[in-house]
Amino acid sequence: MLEVIGLKKKFAGKPALKGVEFSVAKGEIFGLLGHNGAGKSTTLGILLGMVAPDEGETRIDGISVQKNRAEALAKVGAIFESPGFYDYLSGYANLKLLTSYSGGVTKAAIDEVVERVELDDRIHSKVGTYSHGMRQRLALAQALLPEPEVLLLDEPTDGLDPEGIKWFRDFILDLRDNRGMTVLFNSHLLAEVEQMCDRVVILQEGRKVFQGGSADLEEDQLVLKFEVDPPSLLQNLAVEFGGGVKKNNLVLPKTTDIALVVAKAVQNGGQVREVRQVKRSLEDLYLEFSRKVTR
Amino acid sequence: MIFLTQLRGELTKLFARRRTYVGYGVFLVFELILLVTFQIDSIRSKQEEFMVQNGLAADEYFSSLTVTFMVMAFSLFLLGSIYFALVSGDIVAKEVEDGNMRMVLARPVSRFRILLLKFLSTCLYTITFVIFVGITGYAMAVIALGVDGGMMAFSPKMKLFAVYPDWGSGMLRLIIAALLIGISMCTISAIGFLFSCMKMKPATATIMALSVLFLDMVLQEFPIFKPYEANFITYKMSTWLFAFENNFPWAKLVDNFAFLIGLDLSLFAIACVIFQMRDFKT
């Protein structure tokens, strides 16, 4: 549904994107991760035709944004971190105005979306009087008009309270599950991305350093938090099972039977206090890449 | 049809701002001050003396039409240039600054169309504002001096001196002049619009537009440029005064206003190219 092909972009001679490539399948929630300045917003800007790439192309449902922007964006709704509404107009007037650039929508369509984002009681108030959460819901409403197939979300949950974040997450998941919406989600809230996204791309200094889903997060080794007395036994176990010790964790071949390791420890006179498999989170992976870049 | 809906949306934005009405209010107050000033004995007697020196009956020609002419010429020249530069300097740059433009650019609409809508709404706003100044100026003048009387129009710089003994022909020329001032003022808006499309703050765009106008005005007064003053932008913008010449100068007006409209369209085209080349990023 979304294709990002060999994007390169420099701002004032400084490279912002160095050949970024990825694709998002229909009905997928896809996370775009990276530190500030990694190139997330530039990628999103190029996808929306707001930034011209030096090289490469983006396609939405097969239509090139660079060659046929209007047609490509007809299927897209977008939300930004701080949505720039006209504060002196009502929420309803903002929706009418913004949707007029997409060819206009009916009042019934606006009313339906406003009800879905639970903004019906304040939609005729000036946007200047809205809370941040209400502004984000209005942003969601404008992005859903008129019925997009793709949502591009640029840090949409930033500044929202936990209830707001949960409401937003449930809403997006519902859009995917019940409407088959494709979502590209740009965020640095790793837990949020992990909960929502089917797959992620991690960008580091304009380069793609990881792409994959939750299955790809799994390590090719078995990592055990293995607390045993005496602790010196840990090294013996590692040698015995052909592994090693890393950060006080026992790192063993993936096929190792944990029960056998525990039995061996007891046999050797050890007192096992805790055994737990350590799984790599998205945060671990992200920080791993960050450290690599810092080094 | 959708174009008209979008244009209405642009005008809604312009007219929903409080600052827009502050502008109207400021002009009303300014007109009022000018009217009161013209009623001050020493100033009024100077005007009347000028009329008598030119063989005109002061009580006949110091009328609502003459005062409206003076109010429009003064207020639009002094305040209009600042106000239109302010509005046009804001029209794109402010939306970029506030993040509104990003929301619009995320829609399936071309940048050219966005700018065309904004440019048209700025021009419509400018012309209607000038008409508003004309109508309110005349209404105030009528309250102060009554309806009757002829009209005298003069401008030493443009070498204009014209009189209209009957109300009807004076009013007709005043209406034509108001429309021409509106078109002239669109040039200020076009200059402001051009700067507004560049990567700069709204206030900078306004200052740049005013700088261009003042530079143009000052330069044409330099002795070296005096022979070419008719080619300067602000001179061309003042040619609406020719509409008061007794023999209606079609050729002169068409020539000057074709130049101004051509300039406006050129500035718009340059603005489009600049805007098209810009990257908009969070």
As a whole number, mean pLDDT of residues B166-190 equals 94
Q: Could you say which of A52, A104, A142 has the minimum Cβ distance to residue B279?
A: A52
Amino acid at A115: E
Q: What is the dihedral of CA B132, B69, B172, B62, to 10 degrees?
A: 130
Among residues A219, A235, A185, A238, which one has the least CA distance to residue A22? Answer: A185
Please determine, for residue B208, whether its predicted confidence score (pLDDT) is greater than 80.
Answer: yes
At A52-61, the pLDDT tens digits run: 999 999 999 9
Question: Do A50 and B103 make contact, defined as CB atoms within 8 angstroms?
Answer: no
Q: How many CB atoms are located within 10 Å of the residue B30 CB?
A: 19
Mutate to test the interface with B, among A50, A99, A101, A106 (most CBs of B within 10 A): A101
- A·B CB contacts under 8 A: 93
In 3-state terms, what secondary structure has residue A155? coil
Amino acid at A136: Q
Which residues are CB-neighbours of B23 under 8 A, at least 6 positions away?
B83, B86, B87, B129
For residue B227, is it within any domain? yes
Q: Which residues of B touch A89 (CB under 8 A)?
A: 12-13, 16
For residue B223, is it within any domain? yes
pLDDT at position A292 = 64
Q: Give me the percent of chain A exceeding a pLDDT of 90.
A: 43
Output the CA–CA distances (angstroms, integers) from residue A105 to A48, A72, A97, B178, in the order listed.
21, 18, 10, 39
Identify the band that residue A7 occupies on the pLDDT scale cut at 50, 70 and 90: very high
Please determine, for residue A295, whether its predicted confidence score (pLDDT) is greater than 60.
Answer: no
What are the helix and strand counts (H, E) for chain A?
A: 11, 14
For residue B90, the distance in angstroms to the closest alpha carbon of chain A comes to 14
For residue B124, is it within any domain? yes
pLDDT at position B282 = 63
- The number of residues in chain A equals 295
Mutate to test the interface with B, among A97, A154, A186 (most CBs of B within 10 A): A97
Position with higher pLDDT, A95 vs A265: A95
At A185-202, the pLDDT tens digits run: 888 777 788 888 888 888
Q: How far apart are CA A105 and CA A96, in angstroms?
A: 8
The residues with which B2 forms a beta bridge, in sequence order, are none
Q: How far apart are CA A97 and CA B114, in angstroms?
A: 12
Q: How far apart are CA A29 and CA A216, in angstroms?
A: 16
Average pLDDT value over all residues in chain A: 87
pLDDT at position B149 = 86
Interface of chain B against chain A, CB under 8 Å? 2, 5-6, 9, 12-13, 16-18, 95, 98-110, 114, 277, 279-282
For residue B273, is it within any domain? yes
Please, are residues A82 and A74 in contact by the beta-carbon 8 Å criterion?
Answer: no
Mutate to test the interface with A, among B107, B111, B199, B280 (most CBs of A within 10 A): B107
As a whole number, mean pLDDT of residues B238-250 equals 91
ipTM > 0.85 (yes/no): no
At A64-102, the pLDDT tens digits run: 999 999 999 998 999 887 888 999 999 999 999 999 999
Quote the domain boundaries for residue B94. 2-277
At A147-183, the pLDDT tens digits run: 899 999 988 888 788 888 888 889 999 999 998 899 9
pLDDT at position A216 = 67
Please, are residues A20 and A45 in contact by the beta-carbon 8 Å criterion?
Answer: no
At A39-53, the pLDDT tens digits run: 888 999 999 999 999
* Rounded to 5°, angle at Cα A87 from B28 and B189: 45
For residue B282, is it within any domain? no
Phi then psi for residue A191, to 5 deg, are: -60, -40
For residue B242, is it within any domain? yes
Please determine, for residue A222, whether its predicted confidence score (pLDDT) is greater than 90.
Answer: no
Q: Does A128 touch chain B (CB under 8 A)?
A: no
Q: Which residues of B touch A142 (CB under 8 A)?
A: 103
For residue B101, the distance in angstroms to the closest alpha carbon of chain A comes to 8
Amino acid at A149: E
Please, are residues B166 and B246 in contact by the beta-carbon 8 Å criterion?
Answer: no
Distance of CA B256 to the CA centre of its chain: 15
* Rounded to 5°, angle at Cα A71 from A66 and A74: 115
Q: How far apart are CA A178 and CA A181, in angstroms?
A: 8
For residue B79, is it within any domain? yes
Q: How far apart are CA A127 and CA A86, in angstroms?
A: 7
Question: Do B16 and A98 make contact, defined as CB atoms within 8 angstroms?
Answer: no
The pTM is what? 0.86
At A243-253, the pLDDT tens digits run: 888 877 888 88
Which residues are CB-neighbours of B224 under 8 A, at least 6 positions away?
none
Q: What is the number of structural domains in chain B?
A: 1
Task: Give the DSSP H or E segment for B242.
Answer: none
